[in-house]
Amino acid sequence: MAPLCRGLWVWGRAPQQPPGLPLAPRRAFSNNKILVELDESSGVATMKFKSPPVNSLSLEFLTEFCIGLEKLESDRGCRGLVLTSAIPRIFSSGLDITEMCGKSPEHYAEFWRAVQEMWLRLYGSNLVTLAVLNGSSPAGGCLIASSCDYRIMVDNPKFSIGLNEAQLGIVAPFWFKDTFVNAVGHRVAERALQLGYLFPAPEAQRFGLVDELVPEEKLQEKAAAVMAQWLALPDHARQLTKAMMRKALLDRLLAHREEDVQNFVSFVSKDSIQKSLRMYMEMLRKKKG
C-alpha cells in the first residue's frame, strides 16, 4: 500500500482557527466511494459504502477501503468497526466485472492485489468488525461480510448472500472458499460453491453465514448492542484469540500471494472467461434497459 497522505483525517480535533472564533464541529471523512465516521465516545467507527448503483468493488473502492481501514487501525481511539451500505437493498454486489473484462494483464494483476489487500487487512484486523447487511451481498460482498467477526442481516427473504461466482463461470479462489467454509462448514460450502448458490436471509442464518436477522428499523440498535458486548472484553485477549484462530488462513495467502495473482490473471485472460463476462455484462445492460 502507498503511504497514507497526512492531514486527510482529523479525528476529534477541530481545525486550527483564529482565537475568539467558535470551534468547528467534528466532521466525518468522506471520499468518492466510502463515508467513514468515528464516534469518539464509543470508539466505534462506521464505514458506509456509497458507490451506486450496487457498491461494486472497483479498484478505486478497494483502495479507499484499505486506506480507511489502515487509518482506523492506527487510531488508538478506535476499537470497533461497523461496515454497512448507504444504498438501500444492497450491501455490495461484489467484484466490479468491468475491472476484469477487456483490460490488460497488468491491470488484472493490480486489481487482484487490491482484492487480496482488502481481505488481508479486514480478516486480520485487530478491531471488532461487524457487518450490518441492509440488503443483498453476493460474491465479493459475501467475502467482506464473512471476513467480519459478526454479521447482522435485515430479516427479509428477498435479500440473499453467498459466493455465486460459478454462475459467472468463475471459480472462487481458495481464500474465498476457506473464509466461506469457516462460516458454514465444508459440506454446505462445497454444495453452495459448485452451484453458485445465494442463500435467502433466513437460510443464511440457519447455516451460520449470518449470525442474526432483525427488522430493518432495528439494524442500528442491534448493531450497537452487539458491538457493546464485544467491546466489554479486554482488547488484548480478544485480539490474540482472533489472531490465533485466523493466522493459518492469513499465512496461506501470504505464502502464495504472487502465485494467486498469476493464477487469477491467467484464468481471467482466457477467451472463454472473457466471453462469459461480456455476456454477463450484456445481460445486466438489458436488465437496466
One-letter identity of residue 147: S
CA dist., res. 141 & res. 119, Å (int): 11
β-bridge pairing 128-133 and 80-85 = parallel
CA dist., res. 248 & res. 255, Å (int): 10
Coil vs helix vs strand at 259: helix
Task: Indicate the Cα dihedral angle 125, 74, 35, 84, nearest 10°.
Answer: 20
Helix-strand-coil split of the chain, %, nearest 5: 50, 15, 35
CA dist., res. 150 & res. 211, Å (int): 7
Q: In the chain, how long is the greatest CA-to-CA distance?
A: 67
One-letter identity of residue 84: T
Whose cell is 443483498? That residue is: 136
**Cell numbers linked to 145:** 461480510
Within a 10 A sphere around the Cβ of 217, how many other Cβ atoms? Answer: 8
Residue 111 backbone phi and psi in degrees, to 5 = -65, -45
**Cell numbers linked to 110:** 493490480
Cβ proximity of 188 and 209 under 8 Å: no
Catalytic residues: 95, 140, 164-165
